Structure 1
């Protein structure tokens, strides 16, 4: 065999080995790059799934809260004002009252809408506490089912009449500062009769009925 043919054969073998090495090297690099890309994609997917799960959990929580509010609104009772600060409590002693405090005070600005806490019939409405005395100022008493009565006092304006039937959440008055009052607020009572002296703890009553205060 001539030297020229041997040289050509060796050259072809060298080129073949070099090409195979390049292919193998390229394949290894491609595999590594693919693995990195896949890992990044999986991490991104996991993060997306985590975010979706968190969003779903938040939506479920919001739905439960909305359902609870709706359930309370559908109940038999509600609170007498929407925005307020609870002030003087039931049974509290002090110089403001001849006996212990007979209701719960809701501190609100004069002119705040006052609503009936439940369906019923107006049995008292007017100045002089609607007949319960001047300390109450302008006041309303509503008769509900099961010998339960609600009273609203220190009103600036009365918007119902005796004998009128009202539904739960019906606006009946505007809050004020009339009568024996140390500042603008709504005095609210739950009674077992329409008259002074039969009050029970109104907050305990409403909370037991499912009203959040």
Structure 2
């Protein structure tokens, strides 16, 4: 049976269509989910896409965290539902306390839009099992509030428990603590990533095909998950 991956659309989402396409290119069925609908329609996993949910008012992701769909996603994630938050989606996951830390204004106070090298560290999560540990990948980055911050104890714990998913290579684009580009929860089912893997799935439009690994990973994970 084809895995069904939900892609949420919030007011201000920009990359929901791209995320849905990435799911389809990987071989899954993309199911569009609406922010105002708490029903997840039986999906096997969820992607929170990039964009500017609710206009980024208050703080990035702060209003989206309270959307009806997020109530079901939070409950599902705590029960093992795989969830990937990309850029604004990562911000929402932090606001929802599904991931530690916060995403703040880039340290240089400028928007950054560029192809970014990453090193994948945690290659055993639901969203990264198609990669090798320490693999270097190239995916687009586009954000003005992408600086990952957390207290020293949290950063130490993330490093010690293998929960840093990826770090920036060849230059830190936003001042993130310890060059962190993505983290995971303890169970490995929830992942937040600031760069955009959904924009690196086809040779025609991406700087590489490296982003596709995040979407093939979830299909592999679901195929091996117990019924």
Quickly name the TM-score band, shorter chain normalised: under 0.3
Give the helix-richer structure, 1 or 2: 1
- TM-score between the two structures when normalised by the length of structure 1: 0.27
Higher-RCO chain (CA-CA 8 Å, sequence separation at least 6): 2
Which has the greater radius of gyration? Answer: 1
- TM-score between the two structures when normalised by the length of structure 2: 0.26
